[in-house]
Amino acid sequence: MTIDSRRRPRRLRSTAAMRRLTAETRLNPAGLVLPMFVQEGISEPVELDSLPAVKRHTLDSLARAAAEAAKAGLGGVMLFGVPATDKKDPFGSQAVAEDGILNRALATVRAEVGDALVVMADTCLDEFTTHGHCGVLAADGSVDNDATLEIYGAQAVAQARAGAHVVGPSGMMDHQVAAIRDALDAAGLQNTSILAYAAKYTSAFYGPFREAVACSLEGDRRSYQMDPANRREGRLETSLDIAEGADMVMVKPAGYFLDVLADIAATSPVPVAAYQVSGEYAMIQAAARNGWIDGPAALRESVLSIHRAGADVVLTYAAMELARECCDTCDCC
């Protein structure tokens, strides 16, 4: 048998140094965003059983964690607020209030890190409403798209004034980006960016997140979040958000929608983000705890695959772990 030595792809896999040199995709902490939760009315951080190494923070512990994220070189943090139960109402009023927990958290974090870290805010009502939906409800119990847009605009303005560099509308209301851009511009906040959750699917992988934000969801969100069966619709929704002024767009979840992510990344004129959601992260951690997989390696591989599919930015609960360990422990960095 004659072997053609001119065709030997394995030569480029021979050593760790060679693999690093020829890697097509590289993880970098600057491309990672850490989702963080802050809870009203607690004196110590609360560990989350379903999300190992993730906490509901106090304002003080949130500030410290944000400073650590900046020191680790992360690109940003995405903040979610957990208000006191008795402060929830059908309209999510605490989302707009200057003294609402999320707006106080934004001010606290921004005062701590300044511009060393991109401070992002979740712009949605589900954490703040008694019914747990992403918008206000009409008389028939459906989500009132247009009434919700007005609140989103006010919420985004409040978040920007509190210190958010970026607002992240995640409710999948039609025309939410345009409504928020108009509200920000009218308030003189033209420099506040919008990260649109452009292709957000109704997913079975959000369960641990809903525990984290103490969401009181009644029913489901199938009438306004996307059907996991649909691929082309992801491109359509993203194109609409870009036309309305989105500065960045996001696919959520990430790992089970890599085809959608690749489609969007191939044509998007703006940066593309993807969210490795709570269920994706929790499954890896659960399997690792049982000794079935190498947890750190699986987390690295999963986030690397999201980048490989085209994401410029990845939101992941593993951001700090990856920032600390990736470049020292794998061949991809």
Give me the long-range contacts of 325-330 (CB less than 8 A, separation at least 24): 325/296, 326/27, 326/29, 326/300, 327/27, 329/296, 329/300, 330/297, 330/300
Q: Is the pLDDT of residue 1 over 80?
A: no
Angle between helices 319-329 and 59-71 (to 10 degrees): 30
Q: Which of 55, 71, 88, 252 is catalytic?
A: 252
Report pLDDT for 134. 83
Q: Burial of 191 by CB count in 10 Å (0-12 exposed, 13-18 middle, 19+ buried)?
A: exposed
Report pLDDT for 223. 81
Report pLDDT for 333. 43
Q: Of the segments 12-21, 156-165, 219-228, which one has the largest average pLDDT value?
A: 156-165
200 is catalytic: yes
How many C-beta atoms lie closer than 10 Å to residue 222's C-beta? 9
Report pLDDT for 108. 98
Report pLDDT for 209. 75
Q: Is the pLDDT of residue 49 over 90?
A: no
Q: Is the pLDDT of residue 254 over 60?
A: yes
Task: Show the domains of the chain with their CATH numbers.
Answer: 26-329 (3.20.20.70)
List residues bridging with 37 in a β-sheet: 56, 80
Report pLDDT for 328. 54
- Report the pLDDT averaged over residues 52-68: 96
- Report the pLDDT averaged over residues 25-34: 95
Report pLDDT for 326. 55
Q: Is the peptide bond before 253 cis (omega within 30 degrees of 0)?
A: yes
Q: Is the pLDDT of residue 115 over 80?
A: yes
Report pLDDT digits (tens) over 199-232. 999 998 887 877 776 676 666 777 888 999 999 9
For residue 331, what pLDDT band results from cuts at 50, 70 and 90?
Answer: very low
Burial letters 255-288, b for 16+ CB under 10 A, else e: bebbebbebbbeebebbbbbbbbbbbbbbbbeeb
Q: Which of 55, 87, 88, 200 is catalytic?
A: 200
Whole-Å CA distances, 302 to 102, 182, 222, 305? 30, 37, 27, 5
- Report the pLDDT averaged over residues 115-137: 92
Report pLDDT for 2. 66
How many C-beta atoms lie closer than 10 Å to residue 69's C-beta? 25
Instruction: Dihedral sign for Cα 197, 201, 204, 205, please.
Output: negative
- Report the pLDDT averaged over residues 309-322: 97
